[in-house]
Amino acid sequence: MVCPRCIMTVESVLNSLNIPFTRVSLGEVEVPAKPTEAERERIERGLQKVGFELIETRVNKIIEDIKQALIEYLYLGMDAQNTKLSTFITKKNPYDYSYLSDLFSSIEGRTIEQFFILQRIEKVKELLVYDQLSLTEISYQTGFSSVHHLSSQFKKVTGLTPSHFRKIGAAKRKSLDNI
């Protein structure tokens, strides 16, 4: 789950299945009692219908926690620049960064930094499609040090300049949770 709409969707699924819960937050659901195997299967099927998956293993939970930390960091924009990405991740996940980095790479097939760059570029695409901010404002909001840095990263990932992408629009976007 990567947004408030995701939380509402999961709450709706749980309510429709009559599964009691105490809290739903990004990436987590708190239930008052351990679900039975039948309830777990119903939850899993219900979540799959709306494009989510049930994550139960410790490793998968750590990977999801890293992704959530990356999304939080991204939404901080330039405000996050006083904190290194690795420091931010280890504050959110109580493990050594090298362990988290190796684990993430082995499961995802790309580094944390590569994944983060893809997240940033998708956020840039979203802001370009909305066409309400200048490239300078977009670069600030997404944590790039300059428009030039944003443009070079954007072109490296997409093969297009931000200006050209703005012209062709939403057809080239992916949702952040599908990266």
pLDDT of 12: 93
Residue-level pLDDT at 172:
58
The total of structural domains in the chain comes to 3
Report pTM.
0.68
Same domain, 44 and 28: yes
Same domain flag for 135 and 102: no
Q: Which pLDDT score is estimated for 102?
A: 94
119 and 170 share one domain: yes
CATH number of the domain within which 124 lies: 1.10.10.60
The candidate with the shortest Cα–Cα distance to 116, out of 28, 163, 176, is: 176
Residues in the chain where the model's pLDDT stays below 50: 1
For 70-86, write each residue's pLDDT tens digit. 988 988 877 766 789 99
pLDDT at 80: 66
- Determine the pLDDT at residue 1: 45
Shared domain for 138 and 165, answered yes or no, is: yes
pLDDT at 79: 73
- Do residues 153 and 170 both lie within one domain? yes
Which of 111, 131, 153 is where one domain is finished? 111
Question: pLDDT at position 157, please?
Answer: 94
Question: What is the domain range of residue 27?
Answer: 4-49
